[in-house]
A and B are shown apart, each in its own frame.
Chain A
């Protein structure tokens, strides 16, 4: 069917429903505990607009935070690893989010959670 649709010049958009139950919300809690300013973020996107890495690739801290809050943490580590920690986002953030520490805390939380036998439950 997909092949046919292609021939028509359009495709059927895949379902983008987010199954919150299947997602991992612990990471967000761990990160928010380690860097409480995460809760200040209003997703304005200033960070993404000024981002040094964003000049070269489609990295966006705004998106990272969005995915983190939704619990879609599967490929988050790959995203976060693109950050150069230059700190521009921290200076432009209108809500004074400590973005650099946020990135590090996200990496750390993901890294700890990936380790076998270190299952973190409810942010504890």
Chain B
């Protein structure tokens, strides 16, 4: 007997799911750019496929990033993903033992214990092939069930899992998760009941079955239990494409495309569609989002992505994000939340016109120099930083020109963050001409916001772009700048755009260590907090910004430092308004603690000698 009516809910659900997936996948492939499609095709036969397989194993099955976040959380996810896969694979192998090696219909391994009733043979059962499988299958089921128990505990004790807040799911997701959660207990019951009747099963199902047999009429209960098991599977499969569990078949595609070198590109496009569906709504992004402190809980990445998926985008929700990138850093799937946000904003702000034709009338010719300095708009609002940089240039004897001495053209990043890519490009091209005209080899900027866009979006023909902290670090290493140690106790705040945005963590610290005592902060480097002054957000008001700023200041000043050092004029300005601590830009601190370098000392000596002779 290899068929029974009860397999139908499962079987129909599975066919339905596969059908939907085929339709969705082909739509995504059709939506792809031709070049992306070629890239994806190439990746199928290249080395990157191995990388993809490894990443799928590490992330989708073992959940390495989840483990790093919290071991309990990681184990919970692993037990479901890896456990279920093992159940399928081992179940398939087990079924082949009975069918003589050939392939069975897909429902057969899933409901094998209904069709095959082997009696348990103790004590050497485990050394026979069927006995071994019975043991292994029970062990894997126990593994999955342990994850289920953890999942249930997580509902009320999410703090044990490293999550202060968890996602508020919609009713559809609740249906899906209920069916998922019921699958495995139902399997356990069905297998146990059957094992109880036929004295079969492994260590778990047999024990449970014998126990139930003491007081339950199992012969009447086993068949309904199999129906329930199959129905739960069916419900789960049917709800899957529209629930958060769509991430299971989509994340794999996302990993593959990412490894193939495909980027987000145009929005909405197939890549962004795949990213949106890869979000498991695990809620890891909720705790890290500082918007929660200001009471703006609805615009966290998880809800934002859900709104995109449900096509219920909201202008307010899209604009309420500081683009600090903390969610991006925390996301176990690696979804480009910021890129999606910019994409959504570009749809919102489509109709907004920009006209920068007045810039074309500028006929200032730029001075030629080795190094071109760009203070940026924010740099101009912190004259101290500007002055310090000029002092440093003079001291180190750099041949430099100050590009935006008489007012800057914005770098374009704020427009880009607002989703106004076309307008941003106009500023980019305008600035590019000006920068190139200087004929410089190095472009130094004081503003991490400018730095990021110079690096990513400007075509400067090999001109090196440096943030001033990196430039100063190089000067110190080359001996052009000599620093004097002081007994200041400092903490360093990583600006979002410089740290997470551009990966510069060490250089500012190297410089700072030479002039002060740097103590660690609870949230630093990749976990650094946003100052609250971000230009990424469009609609937060000053009160909400201040809450975020004060919370960040609290954490930064825990070790009671003398000075809070940052490397971003906007962060400096924002923290300064908090009035809790002296805030300085790294350039200012360097300018305060400079000593003459070797050449200058030598020159001074020569002058002294001449004075003596005279």
Q: Which residues of A contact B (CB under 8 A)?
A: 35, 37, 50, 52-53, 55-57, 59, 77-78, 81-88, 91-92, 96, 98, 100-101, 104, 107-108, 111-112
Contacts and interface: CB of A to CB of B under 8 A. Distances in A.
Given A56-B359, A98-B539, A81 B381 contact: no
A56 B381 CA distance: 17
B414 A84 contact: yes
A92 B355 CA distance: 24
B418 A85 contact: yes
Interface string B378-400: 10110000000000000000000
Interface string B477-494: 000000000000000000
Chain B contact surface mostly: loop
Interface string B340-379: 0000000001011111101101100000000000000110
Given A52-B407, A55-B407, A84 B356 contact: yes
B420 A85 contact: yes
A55 B418 contact: no
Interface of B: 319, 349, 351-356, 358-359, 361-362, 377-378, 380-381, 406-410, 412, 414-415, 418, 420, 427, 533, 535, 538-542, 570, 573
Contact of B414 (A87, A107, A108): A87
A82 B535 contact: no
Contact of A111 (B351, B361, B410, B414): B351
B354 A86 contact: no
B319 A85 contact: no
B359 A104 contact: no
A50 B538 contact: no
Contacts of B377: 52, 86-88
Given A56-B358, A56-B407, A88 B381 contact: yes
B539 A35 contact: yes
B538 A82 contact: no
11 contacts: A52-B407, A56-B409, A81-B354, A82-B354, A85-B410, A85-B420, A91-B381, A91-B533, A101-B539, A111-B352, A112-B351
B450 to A, nearest CB: 10
A84 B358 CA distance: 12
A100 B535 contact: yes
Contacts of B570: 91
Contact of A88 (B353, B380, B406, B427): B380
Given A55-B406, A84-B414, A101-B539, A108 B573 contact: no
Given A52-B408, A52-B409, A78-B355, A88 B538 contact: no
Contacts of B415: 84-85
A81 B352 CA distance: 8
A119 B538 CA distance: 26
